[in-house]
Amino acid sequence: MRRPVLVLALLAGVTAPAAAKTGKKTTDKKAAKKSDKRAARESTKVSASHHFKADNMPRGWQWPPSRTMESVEKTCEQKLDALGVTWQAATREGHVTDAIVVPDMTLGGVQFLGTYTKDRPQMMDCELALAWTSFAPQLHELGVTEVHFGSIYRWTKVRAFGKTKDVLSRHALGLAMDVAYFVDGAGRQAWVGRDYKSGDELLLNVEKAVNDSGLFRLLLTPKNDPISHKDHFHFEANPDFTPLPAEDPLPDDPDRVDI
Ligand SMILES: [Zn+2]
């Protein structure tokens, strides 16, 4: 079973959580510049490597963002509006295409709380907010009222099976979130690190619902990565940035025969 292992390795993120920065527009300009510089430097480091796997990125993803990506994100913002999410544009960090913050960190009526960042809103890509908002009805059905996460945006490479891969993590795209535990309506906490191994029903139900929903990429858990994901679930939005045919027309071919 070598192939699934390889695939999982490409999907994974990093265990150690880092305090993510808020992407508020009020961010000090100097700090933003510094962060941009760091991102650019790191970006060169990552992309210069011959091991860099561009295909670990979302379908059609490129940097800087293509017109299709911008248009997909515009649609994402409209969907968030239609779903009643209150959001604000934020300062982009790393390779986040459409940086936003949701000031009250409530998506679809579910409260998101940062373990290290308390109730400060965290910058993320619109697509991650949309995936969670779309999935919220199922969280309600399972009884989840709070999602406690370690981190969302981090400029980092993939870490899986205890090893760091030379591949940019989707945390660097603002598309991934590491969840440490869920809280249900009765106030019970279901911790991935403590309760998953004993078959906690809520955690297993969330895992199944996520994978059945198609709203996220394959969820990384202690089951499919017992080393680097032993204490959290790694969620990833799964946007499709493939250009529409209209954006990139095929050149005229005089020999082409339409059938
Ligand atoms: Zn992760």
Pick from 126, 135, 123: which is nearest to 76 by CA? 126
Asked if residues 138 and 205 have their Cβ atoms less than 8 Å apart, the reply is no
| 176 CA from centroid of ligand 1 (Å) | 6
Cα of 199 from ligand 1 centre, angstroms: 21
| Residue 144: inside a domain | yes
User: What is the distance in A from the centroid of ligand 1 to the CA of 81?
Assistant: 27
Q: How many domains does the chain have?
A: 1
Residue 73 has what pLDDT? 98
Q: What's the confidence (pLDDT) of residue 18?
A: 38
Q: In this model, does residue 14 exceed pLDDT 60? A: no
Ligand 1: centre distance to CA 231 (Å) = 11
Examine residue 18 and state whether it is found in any structural domain, yes or no: no
Query: How does pLDDT run across 175-227, given as a tens digit for each residue?
Result: 999 999 999 999 999 999 999 999 999 999 999 999 999 999 989 999 999 99
Give residues whose Cβ lies within 5 Å of ion ligand 1.
Answer: 13, 176, 178, 234
CA dihedral sign, ordered 44, 49, 50, 53: negative
- Least Cα distance to 147 among 123, 115, 182 occurs for 182
Domain presence at residue 69: yes
Distance separating alpha carbons of residues 152 and 115, to the nearest angstrom = 11
Cα 149 to averaged position of ligand 1 atoms, centre (Å): 10
**Residue 254 belongs to some domain of the structure:** no
Residue 253 lies in a domain: no
Top-confidence residue, 21 or 143 = 143
Higher pLDDT: 178 or 18? It is: 178
Cross-strand partners of 110: 107
pLDDT score of 10: 41
Is residue 2 in a domain?
no
User: Would residue 25 count as lying in a domain?
Assistant: no
**Concatenated DSSP letters of 226-258:** TTTTSS-EEEEB--B-PPPTTTSPPPP-TT---
Six-digit token pair at 168? Answer: 């940019």
Whole-prediction pTM:
0.76
What would the pLDDT profile of 52-101 be if each residue is shown by its tens digit? Answer: 445 579 999 999 999 999 999 999 999 999 999 999 999 999 999 999 99
Q: What are phi and psi of 40, to 5 degrees?
A: -65, -40
Distance 27 CA to ligand 1 centre (A): 25
Domain extent for 146: 42-236
Distance 228 CA to ligand 1 centre (A): 9
DSSP H or E segment with residue 100: strand 99-101
Q: Which of 151, 161, 154, 138 is nearest to 207 (CA)?
A: 138
pLDDT at 45 over 70: no
Quick one: which of 157, 161, 125 has its CA closest to 45? 157
pLDDT of residue 153: 96
Residue 259 lies in a domain: no
